[in-house]
Structure 1
Amino acid sequence: MLTSMRTSAKRSLRKVLTTVAALAAVTAALALPGPASADEAPASAPEASAAVPWLATEGNRVVDSSGNPVTLRGVSMIGPRHNYECTECNPQPMADHIARATDPARGWHSNVVRLPVTEWAPNDSLSLEDNIAQHVDPYVQQAVDLGVYIIVDFHRVQDYGTGGVPQDLVREFWEYVAPRYADIPNVLYEVYNEPINPDSWAQWKSYIQPVVDRVRALAPDNLILMGSPQWSTRLNGAVNDPIAGGNIVYVYHLYPNQGAATAAILDPKFGNAAEQIPVFLSEFGWNPAGEWSDPVTEGTTSGWGAPLREYLDARPHINWTAWAFDNYWKPQMYDHDWNLLGGEYQGQFIKQWLAELNG
């Protein structure tokens, strides 16, 4: 259903401009403890907390440590390394975004946030260790302090294997990250954001299974979010041929260019599979035609967002994070000055949706 347009559009979402400025002071709102600045990130990993229960999978559900069903619902941030790239935007620290998105006092009720981890800054020799210390550790600690879940997302939008991202590179990332947060129940691992080609579940499983094996050896308990080929739209392969390792939730990414948000279209994509395996929509979003959308994400609240909500509300076993809690990565929820986009735009709708469910 997706075309080459998806590749260019997704790349435009992650477009890197001329430079990456250092992150400014990053202080959590609500006087909650947090790092003073991402540039002053601690050398050691964040500390564990008992504020949230460990999560696991049981049948097609995510459950807590007592076996109670849990539905994770929230928003996806942009990659922290790109937070200050928009020259026409009013910048705000990433910690402020996370604090806002999880703050009931400001009307937001996310119980999970998704944090993309990229390596796309220009002229940048930042090591993996420094990247994690500056752009992940502070926000993992913030999630612990806030008592919410956070998805550490290896945010590649590329082919995998021969001609694409080498398996060794993915292993290197997770061999460092997996043990770093292995004792923190707040942290979920999304092993590969959007592998594209080959369009084969069998080839994808052969490529990613050794990575998962390594993650499980280093982090036995953290929930794993598993993408699939063609921009994470091929999770049906897991129904009869799941990835080994346990506590794995299968990811789907959904946008208006894939068709109407009706059961007739969504059931074969992921809805039928979600009756048998755990499913997580870790990306979806829309905005009307214009500067806040592109050919992949062009849609309206009344025509696409509202029907999608009806579909997902009837299926609380499906978890989700909406894309993107930002003011310039499309489809954004805010304008450049951090005014929430309403009407046929997605921002106000998703805020109210989260408040009515998670609230």
Structure 2
Amino acid sequence: MKFMERNFFKKCSMIALALLCVLCGCQNTTKRSDSQTKQSAVEKKSDPVQKEKGISCLSTTNNRVVDESGNPYVIKGISTHGLAWFPEIVNEKSFSNFKNDFGLNTVRLAMYTAESGGYCTDGYPQKLESLIDRGIKLCQSLNLYCVVDWHILSDQNPLEHLDSAKGFFEKMARQYGKLPNVIFEICNEPNGSTTWQEVSEYANEIIPVIRKYSDTLILVGTPNWSQDIEQAAQSPLSFKNVAYTLHFYAATHKDDLRAKYEQVVNEIPIVVSEFGICDASGNGAIDEESGNTWIRLLNKYDTGRILWNASNKDESSSILKPGTNLDDWTTADLTPSGQWLLAQNKAATPVKKISPIQSTSTQGKATLSFQSSNTWTEKNKPVVQLEGTLDNASPDAITSWTFTVQFPEAVQVSDH
């Protein structure tokens, strides 16, 4: 196990480190301290195509989203609300909570195009792009998939801002298209009188722009707020690695939409890139029974799903209570929607208990200590997070160090 060398010049300087060891697994996951994260962000900006080990490039085969081994991969995620309205949610604590507490593997970054603060209206494109940049890098550091969502809504027809969309996705694909964890969603919810022919015309313009730089998975919305999935099945696009989106809100969309989904699920790849357990407005009563019925059906066909939304907005679909600090929250701050998401994913991915680990060594006036601070599972393999502190009480600089961690039980560390 190796750490990069760092210089420590000041007396009693405290440096927090973290080490994640996958026990008997195949995942490479490294969590960094704040100072290391900043340094890493600079390094990755100069080399954005650097591939993170342990996260697979997703694609489509036999009408399913699959990993690099060809096995069905189920996206389980959370979507932000509008980035312009709730930018604070894009932080390491929140994204770590999504992964470690909820057992999620994906975060969707919802960037509205036409509403107040929209990319194509009165928003600030550079600020929105900066939030996307931060979100992608957080997902990369945590081995999460990141969906970059061009959030069509009040503009209804994606052709309305075609030129802006082409410029945006050219920039995103050029910068991030080689990262295995990035997914592009090119139009959220075509609606109003928008037809599948118009969505196809738009997709035929946007997808080649992305494909100049990237073969990554692309999600395409369908008419009628991404509910008329059968129209895509009747005339699918000609591109590879494309999936079509279905959206539902469990208190509104029930047997009829479930039947429509089941009729075409073996004809085209489908991802539920947005759903809720309230009504279609994003508010109203919660219907857990219908939500659970949907999840059982999606599980039957290995279909990914992303819950709306990670914010503290005062509405039923938000997972956090109004007034919650988006920079620092826990499961105690969850709404009924958040509690439901936590419960249903925890039931699917139980965390194996690992005995506490603690190690301290002293040499001269320097003390290096490690202890386990968190455990979870990834791909059915237990992962343990170790946090370390180096205390240099001498006036001399420490430029390198070595350490040995002795586990209290027999394990095989396959990656770290």
- The residue type equivalent to 1:126 in the other structure is Y
Alpha-carbon separation, structure 2, partners of 1:30 and 1:45: 18
Find 1:266's aligned residue among 247, 258, 262. Answer: 258
Counterpart for residue 142 of structure 1: 138
Counterpart for residue 275 of structure 2: 284
Alpha-carbon separation, structure 2, partners of 1:294 and 1:279: 20
Report percent identity of matched pairs: 23
Closer, same or farther in 2 for the Cα pair 1:31/1:64, shift >3 Å?
Answer: same
Find 2:306's aligned residue among 298, 318, 321. Answer: 321
Q: Point out which structure has higher relative CO (alpha carbons under 8 A, 6+ apart).
A: 2
Structure 2 counterparts to residues 1-359 of structure 1, below 5 A: 31=33, 34-35=37-38, 45=48, 47-83=50-86, 94-103=91-100, 107-118=101-112, 120-121=116-117, 126-128=124-126, 130-132=127-129, 134-157=130-153, 158-160=155-157, 165-219=160-214, 221-256=215-250, 258-260=252-254, 262=255, 264-268=256-260, 270-287=261-278, 295=281, 297-315=283-301, 317-328=302-313, 330=315, 331-336=317-322, 337=324, 338=329, 339-341=332-334, 345-359=336-350
Closer, same or farther in 2 for the Cα pair 1:125/1:266, shift >3 Å?
Answer: closer
Closer, same or farther in 2 for the Cα pair 1:178/1:314, shift >3 Å?
Answer: same
Say which SS state the counterpart of residue 54 (structure 2) adopts. coil
- The residue type equivalent to 2:274 in the other structure is E
Alpha-carbon separation, structure 1, partners of 2:311 and 2:123: 26
What whole-Å deviation, never above 9, does each CA across 1:245-275 have from its counterpart, x for those lacking one?
2101110111146433x3x54121x222112
What is the TM-score when the length of structure 2 is the normalising length?
0.66
Shift of 1:54: 0.9
What whole-Å deviation, never above 9, does each CA across 1:72-116 have from its counterpart, x for those lacking one?
1121122333226xxxxxx6653322121011xxx3100111111
What is the TM-score when the length of structure 1 is the normalising length?
0.75
What whole-Å deviation, never above 9, does each CA across 1:146-172 have from its counterpart, x for those lacking one?
1111101112212226xx623212111
Alpha-carbon separation, structure 2, partners of 1:191 and 1:182: 14
Gaps of 5+ in 1: 1-27, 85-90, 288-292
Alpha-carbon separation, structure 2, partners of 1:181 and 1:30: 21
Shift of 1:46: 7.1
Say which SS state the counterpart of residue 184 (structure 2) adopts. strand
Alpha-carbon separation, structure 2, partners of 1:303 and 1:60: 28
Q: Which structure features the higher share of strand residues? A: 2
Say which SS state the counterpart of residue 141 (structure 2) adopts. helix
Shift of 1:329: 6.5
Say which SS state the counterpart of residue 236 (structure 1) adopts. helix
Closer, same or farther in 2 for the Cα pair 1:272/1:298, shift >3 Å?
Answer: farther
For the aligned residue pairs, the C-alpha RMSD in angstroms reads: 3.0
Alpha-carbon separation, structure 2, partners of 1:96 and 1:314: 32
Instruction: Give the paired residue count.
Output: 305
Closer, same or farther in 2 for the Cα pair 1:34/1:46, shift >3 Å?
Answer: farther
Q: Are the equivalent residues in 1 in contact too, given 2:139–2:145 (CA < 8 A)? A: yes
What whole-Å deviation, never above 9, does each CA across 1:35-80 have from its counterpart, x for those lacking one?
49x9xx9587474323311111001211111112211112112233
Alpha-carbon separation, structure 2, partners of 1:329 and 1:45: 37
Q: Are the equivalent residues in 2 in contact too, given 1:286–1:297 (CA < 8 A)? A: no
Closer, same or farther in 2 for the Cα pair 1:296/1:272, shift >3 Å?
Answer: same
Alpha-carbon separation, structure 1, partners of 2:123 and 2:337: 36
Gaps of 5+ in 2: 1-29, 351-416
Alpha-carbon separation, structure 2, partners of 1:191 and 1:295: 22
Alpha-carbon separation, structure 1, partners of 2:66 and 2:274: 21
Say which SS state the counterpart of residue 311 (structure 1) adopts. helix
- The residue type equivalent to 1:285 in the other structure is G
Say which SS state the counterpart of residue 212 (structure 2) adopts. helix
Q: Are the equivalent residues in 2 in contact too, given 1:74–1:113 (CA < 8 A)? A: yes
